[in-house]
Amino acid sequence: MKRTPLHVLTGVALVTTLSLAACSGARSGGDAGATGADKTYTLKFSHVVTDTTPKGKAALWFEKELEKRSNGRINVEVYANSSLYGDKDEMQAIQQNSVQMLAPASAKFTTVAPALQVLDLPFLFDKPEDIPTVAAPDTEVGKAIFGNKDLEAKHMKVLGLWDSGMKQIHSNNLTQTPADMKGKKYRIQPSDVLKSEIEAWGGHAEAIAFSEVYSALQQGVIDGGENTYSNIESQKMHTVQTNVAQSNHGYIGYILVVNTEFFNSLPKDLQDLLVTVADDASKYNRDNAVAVNEESKQAIEAAGKTKINVLTPEQRDAFKKLVVPAIYEQYRSVIGDKIIDELLAKQN
């Protein structure tokens, strides 16, 4: 059941809400006196993008399928576009079971599970088709995602990796070389890896919440940023940016997590069903992400305000040489020797 946006909670109100929700939580959903097959559960799924993005579409698909396959025993409430929690408070909310499911970008886990910054490494993938192979569960990258002990310690169980897509550089100037970025301010997600990447290209990195990017661009607080076509278009960033450099220099992946207290409160059959539907939603997401981004790219072009410049292989390589292998080595101690060795072997 999709919910309408809620007012943003601040100060004491936020603390009170989180505390009360953590105490009552999802376990109070449905008939409190019911047991076994008669008991119902409420799963709140919060995210920060619109319903039209790859994540937004997958969340709605997950909602519909889980409610249908559970015969209504699990009621899913999807809160899109930061209407319940945003970048600044969603990680605290899921650890307290105030929300039961999130799918944050890997960069949002920097302070909780530093090894997940592996997905922020520049030029990790050359094209979307490479993602399932490089991040498969049996690879070192996959193990860092699906078997992450830091997340387990913070009451999160990983259920999947969802794609937003490949990142492009958006700005108000033509960007063909790293020199074109010198001295300009670019919005990034809160990741040390991304900060180092932008600085290696001569820019200044500014970590800004996703919901605040449009206004920051409009007011000139920042000059540009890096994001997928679907996020650029759905948040109308292209209406205040004259140029997009199609660089495919990075990847935005969403780590689908469920609160372990909620998961463990479910009977075994619903636990298994939740995992299965999450797997199917991950496949749905991957099957649709490329098409959604292409549609967004076409919409940006059709709006007529933004020029898309596709970097040549030589131009793209000039960006790559400044960050690979340098940034991989810089974060070896954070991400792990095995992961970095595996990735650098594939770069050669």
- What integer pLDDT is reported at residue 272 of this predicted model? 98
Q: Is the pLDDT of residue 9 over 70?
A: no
In a domain, 4, yes or no: no
- What integer pLDDT is reported at residue 22 of this predicted model? 44
- What integer pLDDT is reported at residue 16 of this predicted model? 42
What percent of the chain is modeled with pLDDT above 70? 89
Instruction: Name the residue with higher pLDDT: 118 or 36.
Output: 118
Domain around 272: 11-347
- What integer pLDDT is reported at residue 30 of this predicted model? 45
Cβ–Cβ contacts within 10 Å for residue 143, how many? 16
Look up tokens 């000059």; give the residue: 223
In a domain, 39, yes or no: yes
- What integer pLDDT is reported at residue 75 of this predicted model? 98
User: Treating both helix axes as pointing N-terminal to C-terminal, what angle do 268-303 and 54-69 enclose, rounded to 10 degrees?
Assistant: 150
Q: Is the pLDDT of residue 20 over 70?
A: no
Mean pLDDT of 198-227: 98
- What integer pLDDT is reported at residue 33 of this predicted model? 52
In a domain, 1, yes or no: no
pLDDT in tens, 62-115: 999 999 999 999 999 999 999 999 999 999 999 999 999 999 999 999 899 999
Cβ–Cβ contacts within 10 Å for residue 310, how many? 12
In a domain, 2, yes or no: no
pLDDT in tens, 147-193: 999 999 999 999 999 999 999 999 999 999 999 999 999 999 999 99
Q: Is the pLDDT of residue 35 over 90?
A: no
Q: Is the pLDDT of residue 29 over 50?
A: no
Q: What is the number of domains present in the chain?
A: 1
- What is the rounded CA–CA span in Å between residue 42 and residue 30? 7
Q: What is the pTM of this model?
A: 0.88
Mean pLDDT of 26-51: 76
202: CATH: 3.40.190.170
How far does the chain reach from its first CA to its final CA, in angstroms? 48
- What integer pLDDT is reported at residue 37 of this predicted model? 73
pLDDT in tens, 239-298: 999 999 999 999 999 999 999 999 999 999 999 999 999 999 999 999 999 999 999 999
In a domain, 6, yes or no: no
Contact indicator for 333, 268 with CB cutoff of 8 Å: no
In a domain, 5, yes or no: no
How many CA atoms does the CB half-sphere of 88 hold within 13 Å? 11
Over the chain, what is the mean pLDDT?
A: 91
Q: Read off the amino acid at residue 340.
A: I
Q: Is the pLDDT of residue 6 over 50?
A: no
Residue 246: which H helix or E strand, with range?
A: strand 243-259
Mean pLDDT of 323-329: 98
Kindly write down the DSSP assignment for every residue of 103-116, as one continuous string: --BGGGGTTT-GGG
Mean pLDDT of 7-14: 40
Q: How confident is the model at residue 7 (pLDDT cuts 50, 70, 90)?
A: very low
- What integer pLDDT is reported at residue 347 of this predicted model? 85
